Structure 1
Amino acid sequence: MGMLSAGLFWERRDVPGSEHVRLDARNGLYAQGVALAATPVAYSCRYEIQTDPGWASASLDVRTEGAGWARGVRLELASGRWRVTTSEQGDLDAALAAAGHARAGLPGIEDPDRLFGAFDVDLGCSPLTNTLPIRRLGLLRGEAGLSHRLSVAWVLVPSLEVVQADQIYTPLGEGRVRFAGETFSADLTVDDDGFVVDYPSLARRVEPGVRPAAESS
């Protein structure tokens, strides 16, 4: 892969943090990104995503790290089945306990076959990965109000625990897509290429050289 000339930047709205990704979307998606957040513990998250030309996920490689710990997980989809490999150093649970949070799950998933039928990865708290089903299902050209239920490989951050999750995407027209899980729903604003501009309560995109306006309380 040559130089990645396109880039996106999001500012977190829920916690102090941000995300920057460089990408190529000419034949599916290839992206390299880094996300920073101060909660539940201060961490950095570096990831690499590859899809096939139809925007079905092919691989996701993620590494999170903070003071005294680091974790990694790689997901690869081949012949309809996911392969998951993990790494762990230090003690994330000790860092979480010191910050008053519960223990984290182990990185990866005990039985990758639970992910059978999932064609999208969802990296926790990353607005980039919402684009994958939007593009794969052609939702920007889809019938407004017609819901699509799908299974995804959801990667929790910073623990990198992988779980199967059911999600619903509904095109609303005029650059908006409703994204819903079992306990939440958000109306995303996306650009003409399906990349998130505004994810209420999570993140908003910041354009290069533009200082974000202060949000009202």
Structure 2
Amino acid sequence: MLPSSLFWQRKDTAGAEHVLADSSDGLYARGTALAVDPIPYTCRYELRTGPDWTTSYFDVAAEGAGWARTVRLELAAGRWRVTTAEQGNLDAVLAAAGHAGAGLPGTEDPDLLYGAFDVDLSGSPLTNTLPVRRLGLHHPTTDDTGVAHRLNVAWVLLPSLEVVAADQIYTALGEGRVRFANETFSADIAIDDDGFVLDYPGLAQRAGQPHPQRAG
């Protein structure tokens, strides 16, 4: 049994994420995410980090009508091992819904993920907490407030479970806010005292726990 329960309602599409977690010594979490875009799918995952919040293990399964995929990411000695499986034909399901085909699950070259210490599951507010806690951005010092941290992360796309290396920037703004940015997007995320997302503009909000209104 895990002591914490987190639930987010998606804003960008019909969907939600429910996570059971223990963050007493790093993070152990089991989560379920559901969404209807680009096609209806269910995603279940298990996540472990070390005490320093560096991801050590991420096991993800996604499924929908006529298809199922899994990917497992394991980080050891600075290198990622990626294991995948798939059933059915996700490309055919996407094509029937008028969408482009999906990439294969996982990555052909895990070395492209070298230097990544965090995973980012597409559409998941939980995984934003990983760099926040690893870098201590939930309680930044005066010197660290406003400093941009450029990261390389292992980005797991849904529903395909393709894994790509992605550049992301996290900046502690103080007053329970962290700025997330990449080359094309930026959002100021409200977080609680433990670094978990309260409100991610345009993506998701914690159900039953609206973020406080802040001056400015």
Q: TM-score, normalised by structure 1?
A: 0.94
Q: CA deviation at 1:141?
A: 2.4
**Structure 1 runs, 4 residues or longer, greater than 4 Å off:** none
Q: CA deviation at 1:36?
A: 0.4
1:191 aligns to what?
192
Task: Give deviations 1:156-182, integer Å, cap 9, x for gaps.
Answer: 011000000010000011000000011
Q: CA deviation at 1:207?
A: 2.4
Aligned mates of 1:70, 1:140 — CA distance in 2: 36
Aligned mates of 2:137, 2:56 — CA distance in 1: 20
Match of 2:138, SS state, is helix
CA contact (8 A) 2:179 2:188 kept: yes
CA contact (8 A) 2:138 2:191 kept: no
Task: Give deviations 1:33-87, integer Å, cap 9, x for gaps.
Answer: 0000011000000000000000000010000000000000000000100000000
Match of 1:141, SS state, is coil
Aligned mates of 1:49, 1:166 — CA distance in 2: 21
User: Does residue 38 of structure 1 match 2:36?
Assistant: yes
Q: CA deviation at 1:148?
A: 0.4
Match of 1:20, SS state, is strand
Sequence identity, in percent?
69
Q: CA deviation at 1:105?
A: 0.4
Q: TM-score, normalised by structure 2?
A: 0.94
Q: Which runs of 5+ in 1 are unaligned?
A: 211-217
Match of 1:187, SS state, is strand
Q: Which amino acid aligns with 2:183?
A: E
2:207 aligns to what?
206
Q: Which amino acid aligns with 1:120?
A: D
Aligned mates of 1:127, 1:186 — CA distance in 2: 12
Match of 2:48 among 47, 50, 61: 50
1:91 aligns to what?
89
What is the RMSD of the two structures over their aligned residues, measured on CA atoms? 1.0
Q: Which amino acid aligns with 1:30?
A: Y
Q: CA deviation at 1:140?
A: 1.9
What is the aligned length? 207
Q: Which runs of 5+ in 2 are unaligned?
A: 211-216
